[in-house]
C-alpha cells in the first residue's frame, strides 16, 4: 500500500509540474462569467454556490481528473460527482469549457426540454456520473465507485464535491464510515466550505464545527485549504499518503468574485437584475 | 394444495443458490448488504466470494447509494436488505440514484409483506409495492415460488436496468413450471376459467390456486393468473380477464393502495370496467405470526373464494 502511494505521489508531483496555475485562473474567470450569463438567461439558478465551487471544479477538470470529453464513459476514467447538485450551472459551464458538449447548449440551461436541468442528469449530460439534487446522495455513490475500482483492481480515482450544509444529512456520515472501513485511499471528498446554507449560516443552523476533527475522527486524511487558491487545491488533491481516504475542506466564499454577492445568504438562489449582471460581468473581467 | 403432504419452500434459499451460481460464471456480480448477511441468506455467498460481499453495516441510504456507485464502476450489485428498511429508509436513493440515474442495480427486498409477523408493523413491508410502482423506470418483480425466484434472479442479472426484486420468505409450494417464461409485462395463466379471474403474485399464488379448487367444487370456473411483474403489468392478461370473465379478484401480501390491485383496477377502469375485489393487508397489523395475520386479513383460500363468489 505504501509503496503504491509513494509511486502515485511521485507521479502526481511530476504531473503537477506541468500545470499552469494562471491558466486555471483564466478558466475560472470564464466559468464564473458563463454562470452569471446562464443564470441571467434562465432567470433561475443557484448563483452563490456556483461561484463558491467554481475554483474546485476548475482545478479538478482543468488539472486533476483523468477524463476524456471525446470518450466520457471510458471504463477507467476518473469519477467525479457533484453531490451538491443544485450547483449544476457551474458544472455545466465547466464541462462545456472542457469540450464535453458544445458551449451553445448552455443557452438552453433550464429551458423547456433542455438536457441541462436544474440538477445534473447522467442519462442526458456527458460527464455526469450520477443524478444528484437531493442532498446526501453523491457521497455514497462515490464510495461505491471507489469500491468498484478496488474490487476490479482498476486505478481510477473518485472525487466527490459536497456542500457544507449538505453534511447535515446523515447519509454522508454513513458513507464516510464505509469509505474508512474499506480503506478507500483512491477516494477524495471535497467540502465546499462557504459557511452558508439556504437560509442562514451553517453554524447558526446546525453546527458543523469542528469539521476537520470530524473527518479525521471518521478515518480520513484531512486537509484544509483556501478553496479559491488553485495551487493550494492542487496540493490538497494529491493522493492519500496514509492509505486512508482523503477529505479536503476547501474554505470558500459564497458568491466569490462578485462583490455584492460575496458571503451574502440571500444570493443562494437569487437572480441578479440586468444592472447587477452588468456589474458582475465587469467585476469578473478584472 | 397446502396440506401437510405438499412440500413448501422459503424462496430466499433459491435466491441465494442462484446468486452463487451466477456469481461463479460472472465476476461482475457482487452482493451488498446492511448487516443482513444472515437474513439475506448470503452466508454461502460470503464463504465462496468473501471479497464480493460488501457489508456497509446498518446504513440503508449508504447501501443503495454504494450499489449505484458499484454499478457505475461496471459491477452488477445485488443490494439486499429486509424489504421494509430497503424501501422505506432508502426510498429517495432508490428513486434518484437507481431509477432516475438508470443504473443496473438489483434491489432485493427480503422477508417482505407480513413475514416478520410478531415483530410488528415497523418490520412489515406492506407499502413497498405502492412505493416502488410509483417510481418511473423501476421494474417491480415478485416471484411466487423457488422456480420463479431462480428465474427472477437470472433475469435480473442478465437485463441491465433498475429492478426491485421482492423475495418471499413465507414458505410456499412450487406453483410454476421450472421452464415457465419470465419477462416484463407477461403473466402466467396457471388455471383456465371463464366465470371469474383471480390475479395473484408472490405468496398469494398458491392460496389463489387453493381457492380455485374450492370454487370448482362450488361449480365456479375460476381463472388463476400469476402476475410476477407488478410493473410493467401484463396489460393483455388483465384486459382478457375483464372481457372474458365476470370479475377480477386481486390478491397481494401488501396494502391495497397502490400495488397489484390498484394497478389492475386502473387498467380495467380505463379500458373495460368490471367488478373487482382487491384483497390485501389493511392498515397496521395487530400482533400475530405471519400465517395468523394472513388469515386475519382474509388472505387465504377461504377469503379469496368468498370474494370470487361475490363476482361470479
Interchain proximity A132–B70, CB inside 8 Å: no
pLDDT of residue B178: 83
Structural domains in chain B, sorted by start = 11-167 (3.40.50.970), 188-311 (3.40.50.920)
Return the domain boundaries, chain A.
2-285
Interchain proximity A177–B57, CB inside 8 Å: yes
What pLDDT digit, counting tens, does each position of B227-272 carry? Answer: 999 999 999 999 999 999 999 999 999 999 999 999 999 999 999 9
Instruction: Answer whether A153 touches B (CB < 8 Å).
Output: no
Q: Which residues of B touch A139 (CB under 8 A)?
A: 65
Report the distance separating Cα B183 and Cα A140, nearest Å.
Answer: 31
Q: Which residues of B touch A154 (CB under 8 A)?
A: 73
What pLDDT digit, counting tens, does each position of A4-47 carry? Answer: 444 467 777 777 788 999 999 999 999 999 999 999 999 999 99
pLDDT of residue B28: 98
Distance of CA B254 to the CA centre of its chain: 10
Contact (Cβ atoms closer than 8 angstroms) between residue B20 and residue B155: no
pLDDT of residue B1: 46
Sheet of strand B248-255: strand arrangement: B188-191, B222-226, B196-200, B248-255, B276-281
Residue B229, SS3?
A: strand
Q: Which residues of B touch A144 (CB under 8 A)?
A: 65-73, 77
Sign (positive or negative) of CA dihedral A70, A73, A79, A83: positive
A270 pLDDT higher than 90: yes
Report the distance separating Cα A180 and Cα B72, nearest Å.
Answer: 20
Interchain proximity A178–B69, CB inside 8 Å: no
**Lookup: cell for A277:** 449582471
pLDDT of residue B18: 98
**Lookup: cell for A41:** 438567461
pLDDT of residue A8: 66
pLDDT of residue A6: 44
Interface test with A, best of B33, B61, B73, B162 (most A CBs within 10 A): B73
What pLDDT digit, counting tens, does each position of A107-164 carry? Answer: 999 999 999 999 999 999 999 999 999 999 999 999 999 999 999 999 999 999 999 9
Instruction: Answer whether A104 touches B (CB < 8 Å).
Output: no
Interchain proximity B69–A140, CB inside 8 Å: yes
Interface subset of A 208-267, CB within 8 angstroms of B: none
Contact (Cβ atoms closer than 8 angstroms) between residue A117 and residue A110: yes
Whether the ipTM is more than 0.85: the answer is yes
pLDDT of residue A5: 46
* Separation of first and last alpha carbons in chain A: 46
Average pLDDT, stretch A259-281?
97
Interchain proximity B73–A131, CB inside 8 Å: no
What pLDDT digit, counting tens, does each position of A216-243 carry? Answer: 999 999 999 999 999 999 999 999 999 9
- A-B Cβ pairs (cutoff 8 Å, strict): 111
pLDDT of residue A2: 38
Tens place of pLDDT per residue across chain B (312 aa): 445 578 998 899 999 999 999 999 999 999 999 999 998 899 999 999 999 999 999 999 999 999 999 999 999 999 999 999 999 999 999 999 999 999 999 999 999 999 999 999 999 999 999 999 999 999 999 999 999 999 999 999 999 999 999 999 999 999 998 889 999 999 999 999 999 999 999 999 999 999 999 999 999 999 999 999 999 999 999 999 999 999 999 999 999 999 999 999 999 999 999 999 999 999 999 999 999 999 999 999 999 999 999 998
A3 pLDDT higher than 50: no
Q: Which residues of A touch B72 (CB under 8 A)?
A: 79, 129-130, 141, 144-145, 148
**Lookup: cell for B82:** 429486509
CB atoms within 10 A of CB B31: 24
Interchain proximity A171–B65, CB inside 8 Å: yes
* Fold topology of A2-285: Rossmann fold (3.40.50)
pLDDT of residue A16: 78
CB atoms within 10 A of CB B296: 17
Measured CB to CB, residues of chain B less than 8 Å from chain A are 30, 51-52, 54, 56-57, 59, 61-62, 64-75, 77, 92-93, 96-97, 100-103
Amino acid at each position: 500500500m505504501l509503496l503504491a502511494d509513494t509511486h502515485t505521489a511521485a507521479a502526481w508531483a511530476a504531473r503537477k509540474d506541468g500545470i499552469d496555475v494562471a491558466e486555471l485562473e483564466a478558466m475560472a474567470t470564464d466559468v464564473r462569467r458563463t454562470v452569471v450569463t446562464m443564470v441571467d438567461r434562465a432567470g433561475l439558478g443557484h448563483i452563490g454556490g456556483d461561484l463558491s465551487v467554481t475554483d474546485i471544479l476548475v482545478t479538478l477538470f482543468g488539472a486533476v481528473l483523468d477524463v476524456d470529453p471525446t470518450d466520457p464513459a471510458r471504463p477507467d476514467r476518473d469519477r467525479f460527482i457533484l453531490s451538491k447538485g443544485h450547483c449544476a450551472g457551474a458544472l455545466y459551464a465547466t464541462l462545456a469549457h472542457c469540450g464535453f458538449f458544445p458551449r451553445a447548449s448552455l443557452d438552453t440551461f433550464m429551458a423547456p426540454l433542455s438536457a441541462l436541468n436544474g440538477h445534473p442528469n447522467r442519462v442526458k449530460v456527458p460527464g455526469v456520473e450520477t443524478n444528484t439534487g437531493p442532498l446526501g446522495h453523491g457521497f455514497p455513490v462515490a464510495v461505491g465507485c471507489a469500491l468498484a475500482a478496488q474490487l476490479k483492481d482498476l486505478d481510477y480515482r473518485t472525487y466527490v464535491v459536497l456542500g457544507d450544509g449538505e453534511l447535515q444529512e446523515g447519509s454522508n456520515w454513513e458513507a464516510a464510515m464505509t469509505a474508512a472501513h474499506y480503506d478507500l485511499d483512491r477516494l477524495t471528498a471535497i467540502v465546499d466550505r462557504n459557511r452558508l446554507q439556504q437560509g442562514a449560516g451553517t453554524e447558526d443552523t446546525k453546527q458543523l464545527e469542528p469539521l476537520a476533527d470530524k473527518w479525521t475522527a471518521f478515518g480520513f486524511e484531512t486537509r484544509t485549504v483556501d478553496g479559491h487558491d488553485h495551487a493550494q487545491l492542487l496540493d490538497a488533491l494529491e493522493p492519500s499518503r496514509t492509505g486512508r481516504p482523503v477529505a479536503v475542506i476547501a474554505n470558500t466564499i459564497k458568491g466569490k468574485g462578485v462583490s455584492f454577492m460575496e458571503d451574502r445568504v440571500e444570493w443562494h438562489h437569487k437572480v441578479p437584475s440586468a444592472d447587477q449582471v452588468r456589474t458582475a460581468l465587469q467585476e469578473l473581467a478584472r | 394444495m397446502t396440506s401437510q403432504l405438499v412440500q413448501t419452500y422459503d424462496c430466499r434459499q433459491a435466491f441465494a443458490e442462484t446468486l452463487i451460481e451466477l456469481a461463479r460464471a460472472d465476476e461482475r456480480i457482487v452482493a451488498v448488504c446492511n448487516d443482513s448477511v444472515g437474513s439475506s441468506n448470503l452466508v454461502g455467498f460470503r464463504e465462496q466470494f468473501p471479497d464480493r460481499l460488501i457489508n456497509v453495516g446498518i446504513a440503508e441510504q449508504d447501501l443503495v447509494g454504494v450499489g449505484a456507485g458499484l454499478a457505475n464502476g461496471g459491477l452488477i450489485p445485488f443490494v439486499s436488505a429486509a424489504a421494509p428498511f430497503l424501501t422505506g429508509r432508502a426510498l429517495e436513493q432508490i428513486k434518484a440514484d437507481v431509477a432516475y440515474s438508470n443504473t443496473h442495480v438489483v434491489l432485493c427486498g427480503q422477508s417482505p409483506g407480513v413475514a416478520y409477523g410478531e415483530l410488528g408493523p415497523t418490520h412489515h413491508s406492506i407499502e413497498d409495492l405502492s412505493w416502488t410502482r410509483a417510481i418511473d423506470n423501476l421494474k417491480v418483480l415478485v416471484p411466487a415460488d423457488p422456480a420463479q425466484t431462480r428465474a427472477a434472479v437470472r433475469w435480473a442479472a442478465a437485463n441491465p436496468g433498475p429492478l426491485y426484486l421482492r423475495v418471499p420468505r413465507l414458505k410456499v409450494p412450487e406453483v410454476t413450471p421450472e421452464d415457465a417464461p419470465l419477462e416484463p409485462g407477461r403473466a402466467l395463466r396457471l388455471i383456465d376459467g371463464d366465470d371469474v379471474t383471480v390475479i395473484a403474485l408472490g405468496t398469494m399464488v398458491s392460496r389463489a390456486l387453493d381457492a380455485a379448487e374450492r370454487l370448482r367444487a362450488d361449480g365456479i370456473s375460476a381463472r388463476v393468473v400469476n402476475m410476477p411483474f407488478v410493473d410493467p403489468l401484463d396489460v393483455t392478461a388483465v384486459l382478457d380477464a375483464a372481457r372474458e370473465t365476470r370479475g377480477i379478484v386481486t390478491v397481494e401480501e401488501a396494502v391495497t393502495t397502490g400495488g397489484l390491485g390498484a394497478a389492475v383496477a386502473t387498467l380495467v377502469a380505463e379500458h373495460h370496467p368490471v367488478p373487482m375485489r382487491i384483497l390485501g393487508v389493511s392498515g397496521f397489523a395487530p400482533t400475530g405470526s405471519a400465517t395468523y395475520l394472513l388469515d386475519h386479513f382474509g388472505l387465504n383460500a377461504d377469503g379469496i373464494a368468498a370474494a370470487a363468489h361475490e363476482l361470479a
